[in-house]
Amino acid sequence: MNHKICVIGLGYVGLPLAVEFSKYYPTIGFDIDEIRIANLKNNNDKTGEVDKNQLVSTNLCYTSSIKDISNYNTYIVTVPTPIDGSKRPNLKALQNSSKTIGKVIKKNDIIIFESTVYPGCTREDCIPIIEKESGLKLNQDFYCGYSPERINPGDKKNTLTKITKIVSGSNDFSLELIDNLYSKILTDAETYPVSSIEVAEAAKVIENTQRDLNIAFVNELAVIFEKLNLNTNEVIDAASTKWNFIPYRPGLVGGHCIGVDPYYLTYKSNISGYTPEIISAGRRLNDSMGRYIAQRVLKRMISKSIIVEESKVLILGFTFKENCPDIRNTKVVDVISELKEYKVEVDVYDPWVTDDESIEEYKIKMKDDYYKSKYDAIILAVSHNEFLKIDFDSITHKKTIIFDIKSFLPKLKGLEVSQL
């Protein structure tokens, strides 16, 4: 098959994929965000996941117009799959993408989904929309597959071409096509074919569910050890001397995957007749950590006779992880909300975040001139490398509490640093 590839959704997953495929095939990137398209055409990528010199080439173009993608034959969907306010799957972007594809596909075209979903979603939710819009039938007129994304934002080591790629297809023919397609771009990794689309969907969703549960366990340990007046990280370091102990660390669990994907699995489990207990408990605990951290800081302030309602707190870091600009589903907002409930004045500084994004998404402005103030408490929420250069003496007073969620800061002379 002479692939002409259209990647739908140009975020942290779709853009690197489009760039890699464009090295071998004619490729177009489609996104409904016209500003995003304009920026990419001008070599401007806010994610930082792709070398700027690779954004535009003779084999790669970008569009927000459906008519521009009608002459392609391989469609890869990489749109967001978030949760709604009730923590149920929000499939709107996925459904809209399926409608778009249904309007343009032709006989023998192939569609590959990469967005994280629950087992059965591709076959039960997406394919019927494509069939309805196109009038074509799966495995008779077009083919489908699922190959879950494994992009780790900000990770410059485990990049797309170096990560094993699970591949699946709606039949043997499509599986072989998809396997060969992805094998082309995996320069330092291999594909891993599985027997069905549902297996591939399930494999992806449990990857992050497992990590979520492991972090929930150490978060609960942090709560217990605080009661026992034990240093959680010291305990973990000691336990790590055993060869098979996995040293997960406590912290906030946000982002586009770990804090979201378990809800897709629990949703599918619930409608299938089983109420998951362990996964749900882990999610509840991790979702409560922002409030717990704020409460610990407030208690430390009170113990030092700092008047909470007149206090000023600086939060360092707003992204969901270190050294990347991604603020999707950041749980730092939970810490902020809890502090504001007690009338605390909260400043937030993150050198990786622009006001345009933080204000639009969360109505929170970055405090770039934080260094002009003295704070009653400082919370290190994200371990950006830039924070190691901060002169803490200039922004603290004798009673200032520093709470290092990530156990990232070195010992600061004359300052008390608490850890989660």
With beta carbons less than 8 A apart as the criterion, state whether 144 and 114 touch. Answer: no
- CA dist 100 and 235 (Å) reads 53
Helix orientation angle between 278-287 and 261-271, rounded to the nearest 10 degrees: 140
Q: Is 126 a catalytic residue?
A: no
With beta carbons less than 8 A apart as the criterion, state whether 17 and 160 touch. Answer: yes
From 121, 126, 144, 257, active-site residue: 257
Q: Which residues pair with 379 in a beta bridge?
A: 315, 403
CA dihedral for 91, 14, 75, 148, sign (positive or negative): negative
Farthest CA pair distance, the chain: 74
* DSSP H helical ranges for 184-230: 197-227
- Around Cβ 83, how many Cβ atoms within 10 Å? 17
- CA dist 378 and 401 (Å) reads 6
- CA dist 128 and 11 (Å) reads 26
With beta carbons less than 8 A apart as the criterion, state whether 205 and 117 touch. Answer: yes
- CA dist 144 and 174 (Å) reads 7
With beta carbons less than 8 A apart as the criterion, state whether 294 and 335 touch. Answer: yes
Residues with a catalytic annotation lie at 257
